[in-house]
Amino acid sequence: MAKIDTRLPKGMRDFLPSDMLKRDYVFGVVRDVFETFGFEPIDTPVLEMRDTLLGKSGEDADKLIYYAQHPGGKEELALRYDLTVPLSRFVAMHENDLLMPFRRYHIAPVWRGDRPQKGRYREFYQCDADIVGIPDMSADAEIISVVATALKRLGFADFTVKVNNRKILTAIGIFSGVPDAQLGSLYRSIDKLDKIGLNGVVKDLRDNGLPEDVVNRMVGLLDLRGENVPSLDMLAHLREQLDGIGLGQEGITELEQMVEFMDALAVPSDSVEIDVAMVRGLSYYTGPVFETVITKPDNLGSVTGGGRYDELIGLFRKQSLPTTGTSLGIERIIDLLDLLDLYPPELTGTVVQVLVTVFGADTQRDSMRLTSELRAAGIHAEAIMQLQKSLGKQVQYADRKGARVVAFLGPDEIASGVVKFKRLSDGQEVTAARDRATLAVRDLLAE
């Protein structure tokens, strides 16, 4: 009979147990940090009504959304593209059951029909934390604090939180005299500053047909962003430059407030950088935007991104609710933990602690009974099931699997009322009375 192809959809992955142990560890740390900050879990369906998703994250996003349908079903559905639009729909739908501010986290997969490439997948997890209902910068500072705490807890020693405010970007456009219609392409040029340098941006702006005086005014402002200028000094200078542009003054005040609140929340000030050239792509941001970049041992790129989007919930509800939040690039973080060898050593690649060997059919049930007792004591145990395997092969299996202790319960041991245990790491052997088996294993595992 022709066999069915075992092919997976492009850009999608299986996870083996060794992958899952790492992923569960990362999700566990993040969940723990989120809850320490009072964020509470929610979940939403993978499938949403198509109309809920389309048009919320910009045209580029719309092209990447997967459609779904049940043949015979009338509903036009789609797989969620992110966790932010579902949150907005969720808040509008359940507002009577939610206390404001609503702090929620959501760890779940999303789907994007992007071109797959190294580190970019069509199905991937997002880890989001958002605060709904607070217009003040205390909420944005909380978001940055939770991000910094999570990264630290995962073992990242050196990272920079970059902060900007969309209002400042708009004000820079106004200040420089960029026509409204060209603001989008202005942002796209500025966003490339880190990659192509100030000269590159200048060329880009000129290529886009901006007049020379506009380009020069812009460059003067962007030049403020020197490596060695303390953030608050830079902001004070920017405030003078943007004198008379209300939106710019507002954005600067917001950034200054954020800096104060981050300080109260013990976010180390040397890990925060105000970067007036940082844009963040999403169309729905309205105020502060932020991202985190791992800076050592190398510049390893951005691992979190977020911002304030005060108008999005208003698409689903008469009055919007001010909201700010972040998304941890958890797939990237998982890859980096591997690269930087930051996983704790106890993630050995197996959940099994004790492998109970079986001498033969006559003693198999004794081995199973022992296994069952160990389990009742909370020890992860497995008994050999392939009786045709020699004892040597059984120990080999335990070793390859990564079990820490092997148990022997043959006819001799049974006759003498004992069990023999061997720790694989150092060969240490212990013979214990049958009714003290659990204690003996505990000792071997503890050392």
> Interface residues for its own copies in 237-296 (CB under 8 A)?
260-261, 263-266
Smallest gap, in angstroms, from Cβ of residue 91 to its own copies?
A: 9
Q: Does 77 bind its own copies (CB under 8 A)?
A: yes
Nearer to its own copies, 50 or 239 (CB): 50
Give residues 16-75 in contact with its own copies (rule: CB under 8 A): 16-17, 20-21, 23-24, 35-49, 51-52, 63-73, 75
Q: How crowded is residue 179: how many other Cβ atoms within 10 Å of its Cβ?
A: 10
The interface region with its own copies, picked from 166-174, 232-240, 361-369, 439-447 by CB under 8 A, is 361-369
Q: Does 153 bind its own copies (CB under 8 A)?
A: no
Smallest gap, in angstroms, from Cβ of residue 68 to its own copies?
A: 4
Q: Which of 284-305 are b and which e, b meaning 16 or more Cβ less than 10 Å from the residue's Cβ?
A: bbbbbbbbbbbbeeeebebbbb
Burial class (CB in 10 A: 0-12, 13-18, 19+), 244: exposed
Among 61, 79, 186, 405, binds its own copies (CB under 8 A): 79
CB 440 within 8 A of CB 421: yes
Nearer to its own copies, 386 or 390 (CB): 386
Q: Does 118 bind its own copies (CB under 8 A)?
A: no
Q: Does 318 bind its own copies (CB under 8 A)?
A: yes
Residue found under tokens 């939770």: 146
Q: Does 5 bind its own copies (CB under 8 A)?
A: yes
* SS3 category, 59: helix
Nearest to 108 by CA among 86, 93, 92, 91: 86
Smallest gap, in angstroms, from Cβ of residue 116 to its own copies?
A: 11
Q: Does 364 bind its own copies (CB under 8 A)?
A: yes
**List of residues 6+ apart from 392 with CB closer than 8 A:** none
The interface region with its own copies, picked from 155-163, 188-196, 271-279, 358-366 by CB under 8 A, is 358-366
Residue found under tokens 């797989």: 79
Q: Does 350 bind its own copies (CB under 8 A)?
A: yes
Q: Does 362 bind its own copies (CB under 8 A)?
A: no
Q: Does 115 bind its own copies (CB under 8 A)?
A: no
Nearest to 336 by CA among 307, 300, 290, 284: 300
The residues with which 110 forms a beta bridge, in sequence order, are 124
Q: Give residue 270's identity as a one-letter amino acid code.
A: D
Q: Is the dihedral of CA 219, 222, 227, 229 positive or negative?
A: positive
Which backbone phi and psi does 327 adopt, to 5 degrees? Answer: -125, 125
CA distance 395 to 440: 19
Nearer to its own copies, 106 or 332 (CB): 106
Q: What is the DSSP letter of 182?
A: G
Q: Does 309 bind its own copies (CB under 8 A)?
A: no
Smallest gap, in angstroms, from Cβ of residue 83 to its own copies?
A: 12
The interface region with its own copies, picked from 176-184, 204-212, 221-229, 345-353 by CB under 8 A, is 345-353
Q: Does 213 bind its own copies (CB under 8 A)?
A: no
Q: Does 346 bind its own copies (CB under 8 A)?
A: no
Q: Does 347 bind its own copies (CB under 8 A)?
A: no
Smallest gap, in angstroms, from Cβ of residue 328 to its own copies?
A: 17
Give residues 400-439 in contact with its own copies (rule: CB under 8 A): 400-401
**List of residues 6+ apart from 359 with CB closer than 8 A:** 367, 391, 408, 409, 410, 411
Binding residue count for its own copies, defined by CB under 8 A: 112
CB 284 within 8 A of CB 322: no
